[in-house]
Amino acid sequence: MADLEIINLHVRTEEREILHGVSLQVNKGETHALMGPNGSGKSTLANVLMGNDTYEVTEGQIIFNGEDITGEDPEKRSQAGLFLAFQYPAVIPGVSVANFLRMAVNAHRDEPINVKEFRDKLKTNMDLLTVPREFTSRYLNDGFSGGEKKRAEILQMAMLEPTISILDETDSGLDIDALRVVSEGVNALRERGMGSLIITHYQRILDYIKPDFVHILLEGRIVEEGGPELVAKLEEHGYDWIREEVAQRAG
Amino acid sequence: MPAEQTRISPADAGRTVAGPSAIASDRKAALAAYESAPVPTWRRSGFWTTTLRDLDLESLSPREYPAVSSREELPQVVRDAIGDEQYAGLIVQRGASVIYTETSAGNPDGVIACTLEQAFDQHPELVAKYYGKRVSSEEGKFTAANAAMWTGGAFFYVPPDTSVEQPFQVINVIDEPGVAQYGRLLAIVDTSGKATFREFDLAPDIDGQALHAGVTEVFARPNSWAKVKTLQDWGAGEIFDVSTKRVEIARDAHARWFPVHLGGHLTKQTLDIVTAERGADMRHNGLYITQGNEHLDLFTTDLHESGDTTGDTVWKGAATGSSKASYEGLIEIREGCQNSHTYLQTHSLMLSKEAKVDAIPSLIVKTDDVSASHGGTVGEVDENQVFYMRTRGISREDAIRILVEGFFDPVIGGFEDERLEQLVRQRIAGKLAEASEDIAAYAATK
Ligand SMILES: Nc1ncnc2c1ncn2[C@@H]1O[C@H](COP(=O)(O)OP(=O)(O)OP(=O)(O)O)[C@@H](O)[C@H]1O
Ligand SMILES: [Mg+2]
């Protein structure tokens, strides 16, 4: 069984079903890309994997490290090693980045981290992601630019060292240099064994972080799977050919 | 404990009422005014009422307590608040009695920290210049009560061109039911001086009723710097607090006032900051958190009596349980006060379905050529933020606490006072823990 196993997941909001039976497997050390047009359900999947209860899972299962976490609390999933870098991270006014990181790190341990260990770890990761020093004293995401928010997400990921990370459009909003730096950060964690599911619209991030597998989500279903060659094909032709194929398959 | 106390019966209140001889006749008049005035009810715009209907005034009286000679003998709630902090002056008033006084040997020449009674005795001219000049006994039943019946009291004075680093601190403590406490603070930082004045009103969770009717007057003389920190935490007992506090800022002087309201059964306070002369500058940053069935009614005025003055008022409050909190903030700019600039903001956070918060900023401006603005928000804990934090491993309960602390952080950070900051953070965390189920249930409905 894969480290993260999504089995026939059906998800709905009060109004309608958004995911119609999604299955996907991600192992530690693997990099998966998830692509698909706007509104196809990518962020919904990411949120459901983290336990956002505005969505209801009506069928299917999420298995993480062999345990069924379909109904588990978000904090338990995080503590178990699952991470989501949000497409639209929340603003947390009045809580500095450094403070927030310390609280998050402590939430993953029995004993609070000692001051020096935390400081060293923070410094290492800030260097890795070339985050400026003054960043850590600002209130988390409060008045951050789009790119700064994405960097703050990746800084959190680096500090929490998850086993599987979902990156929801982390590339959008990042300038070219920031994209390279963030990608290098992800690659460094991948070398330490982290698996990832990278949600994106663009080939560019996948040039830096080479995916092992590519999945295409269309209207709440995975309709195409393959290797990196799929990305190039999408970049060139868009989604129409997939829509046609799906229509043909449906006959 | 009961063996130690002396109850002052109305019959022998004579000594109390006489007070310092300089104001004996004023006190008599004030007592008459107090006795003839009806118990007030404060109504605003029809739907907000603060009433003392449930207060059994007749059953309360000032109480005297013996002095103690060391910090170790002070009531627990006082010891918790002061820790091992060093003060330029410390005065602890329990009921009607100042039970403990401490002054720092290192104070510069001319600095005074003593009871107000002693000040009337030893510094009559100085006291006469300021006493009652900003809060008149004629403002209402309870300022009259205070003028007539205060005993003990605190007097802090910093002479011209003198800067005092350590804070001056008065603590009013009520630690049993039946007490009527008339606390009085008079604090002056003279020309080009610098000082921090703190007033804490504290009680353990008493079982029964008590009253605190305090009057506080602070004067920041020309070109001086005053920091004023007033903290109210009356615990869970039935303590009624009807107090008036006023800070006057003279020419080119600066004052920062941080009022903190952490608890009280029913509170009606008038908190005014007056930029009285040109160049006067003030900042007024308050916070409150209410719980249970507490009732908090605050009325602040940013009063400009002169032109070329500046003001900046920010209040933040949160309400849990079935508590009610009303903050009314008035900016008043008198005639002829050109070139005054001020603004007022109030932000409140509702943490429970049954809680009520009401924030009313208002303006009375009688001069052209000024800038005065106000604004306010009422918010709730946002479930999106809570979810975000939970995905970082933080429990729902902690997430809410962190968010509320974050809401207050800009005010608390502004104290520039580690001791106060620590006290306030600790108390807020405690209150949120007590209310956590209620708060979580409410957030989940959003
Ligand atoms: N909480 C919600 N309530 C109602 N509808 C929702 C909710 N969340 C998502 N949807 C709807 O579900 C569909 C999928 O949305 P989702 O955000 O998952 O798409 P996406 O693939 O991430 O799109 P994008 O590429 O634009 O980020 C959309 O039609 C969206 O409007
Ligand atoms: Mg999305």
Write out residues 386-445 of B within 8 Å (CB-CB) of A. Answer: 387-396, 398, 402-403, 405-410
CA of residue A52 to ligand 1 center, whole Å: 13
pLDDT at residue B446 in the model? 63
pLDDT at residue B10 in the model? 43
Mean pLDDT along residues A41-55: 97
Residue in A51, A47, A40 with CA at minimum distance from that of residue A18 = A40
pLDDT at residue B46 in the model? 59
3-state secondary structure of B42: strand
Q: pTM to 2 decimals? A: 0.87
Structure tokens at B346: 């109030």
Number of domains present in the structure of chain A: 1
pLDDT at residue B15 in the model? 47
Mean pLDDT along residues A139-163: 95
Contact in structure between B239 and B294 (CB atoms under 8 Å):
no
Cβ contact, residue pair B391, A78, below 8 Å:
yes
Contact in structure between B360 and B333 (CB atoms under 8 Å):
no
Q: Where are the domains of chain B?
A: 29-277
More confident residue, B381 or A141: A141
CA atoms within 13 A on the CB side of B277: 13
pLDDT at residue B14 in the model? 46
Identify the helix (H) or strand (E) that includes residue B350. Answer: strand B341-350
pLDDT at residue B274 in the model? 98
- Let me know if A57 is exposed, middle or buried by CB neighbors in 10 A (0-12, 13-18, 19+): middle
pLDDT in tens, A217-240: 999 999 999 999 999 999 889 999
Residues of A with CB under 8 A from a CB of B: 50-52, 73-75, 77-79, 83-84, 86, 89-95, 100, 103-104, 107-108, 139, 156, 160
pLDDT at residue B434 in the model? 85
pLDDT at residue A231 in the model? 92
> CA-to-CA distance for A197 and A186, rounded, in angstroms?
11
pLDDT at residue B162 in the model? 98
Output the average pLDDT for chain A. Answer: 95
Q: Which of B377, B391, B394, B400 to mutate to test the interface with A (most CBs of A within 10 A)?
A: B391
pLDDT at residue A251 in the model? 76
Q: Domain with A124 in it: what CATH number?
A: 3.40.50.300
Contact in structure between A163 and A194 (CB atoms under 8 Å):
yes
> CA-to-CA distance for B277 and B31, rounded, in angstroms?
33
pLDDT in tens, A165-178: 999 999 998 999 99
> CA-to-CA distance for B176 and B173, rounded, in angstroms?
9
> With an 8 Å Cβ cutoff, is B353 touching chain A?
no
Contact in structure between B215 and B245 (CB atoms under 8 Å):
yes
Q: Could you list the pLDDT tens digit for every one of the 446 residues in chain B?
A: 333 444 444 434 444 556 788 899 999 999 999 999 999 999 887 578 999 999 999 999 999 999 999 999 999 999 999 999 999 999 999 999 999 999 999 999 999 999 999 999 999 999 999 999 999 999 999 999 999 999 999 999 999 999 999 999 999 999 999 999 999 999 999 999 999 999 999 999 999 999 999 999 999 999 999 999 999 999 999 999 999 999 999 999 999 999 999 999 999 999 999 999 999 999 999 999 999 999 999 999 999 999 999 999 999 999 999 999 999 999 999 999 999 999 999 999 999 989 999 888 999 999 989 999 999 888 888 889 999 999 999 998 899 889 999 999 999 999 999 999 999 999 998 888 888 888 877 777 76
Cα angle B368, B374, B375; round to 5: 155
- The boundaries of the domain holding residue A62 are 4-250
Contact in structure between B344 and B329 (CB atoms under 8 Å):
yes
Please report the ipTM that was assigned to this predicted complex.
0.97
Q: DSSP for chain A?
A: --SEEEEEEEEE-SS-EEEEEEEEEE-TT-EEEEE--TTSSHHHHHHHHHT-TTSEEEEEEEEETTEE-TT--HHHHHHHTEEEE-SSPPP-TT-BHHHHHHHHHHTTSSSPPPHHHHHHHHHHHHHHTT--GGGGGSBTTTT--HHHHHHHHHHHHHHH--SEEEEESTTTT--HHHHHHHHHHHHHHHHTT-EEEEE-S-SHHHHHS--SEEEEEETTEEEEEESTHHHHHHHHH-SHHHHHHHHHHH-
